[in-house]
Amino acid sequence: MLNSEKLAIAAHLHVLLRRKSGRVTDTEWLASNAEYATEIVRFARAKATEDGHADLAEWASKLESAMAETHPMRAGLTQRSGPVAEPLTAPRASTPSPDLSPDEASPHRYIRGIR
C-alpha cells in the first residue's frame, strides 16, 4: 500500500476520533509508526464499542490492515520501526572560511546573516 493511502486512512481516522472522542492524533506518525498505530487502533475500537460508533471501528480496521502490509504486527506488541535517533552532541567548532570578513566569521552571528 502506498504511503499516501495510509496517510489518507490515518487522516480519516484522526477526524473521526477528534469528532467522536475529542482525541487528537498525529496523522503522519500514525501512518508511519506501527506501535503508535496499534495503540490508536486499540483506543478507537474501545471507543467504538463503548459509544456505539460503527464507522470508528471500520476505519480502525482499515488502518490496522494497511499497517499490517508494511509492518507485521504481533498480538498486543509491535516491532519498533524506523531509524534510531542518534544522541545529541555539542556542535563542533568550525574554522571560519577564508573568504568571510571577521564579523561574518564570528561564532555568535549567522554566516551571511539574515537581513
- pLDDT profile of the chain (115 residues), mean per 10: 90 94 92 93 94 93 89 48 53 56 56 61
What is the phi-psi region of residue 16: left when phi exceeds 0, alpha when psi lies from -120 to 50, beta otherwise?
alpha
Q: What is the pLDDT of residue 69?
A: 82
Q: What is the pLDDT of residue 80?
A: 46
Could you give the CA distance from residue 96 to residue 100 in angstroms, rounded to a whole number? 7
Could you give the CA distance from residue 60 to residue 10 in angstroms, rounded to a whole number? 9
Q: What is the pLDDT of residue 3?
A: 87
Q: What is the pLDDT of residue 112?
A: 65
Q: 78 - beta bridge partners?
A: 73
Q: What is the pLDDT of residue 38?
A: 94
Q: What is the pLDDT of residue 78?
A: 43
Q: What is the pLDDT of residue 87?
A: 52
Grid cell 496517510 — which residue? 7
Backbone angles phi, psi at 38, to 5 degrees: -60, -40
**Which of 64, 32, 31 is CA-nearest to residue 45?**
64
Contacts of 9 (CB under 8 A, 6+ apart): 31, 59, 62, 63, 66
Could you give the CA distance from residue 64 to residue 34 in angstroms, rounded to a whole number? 9
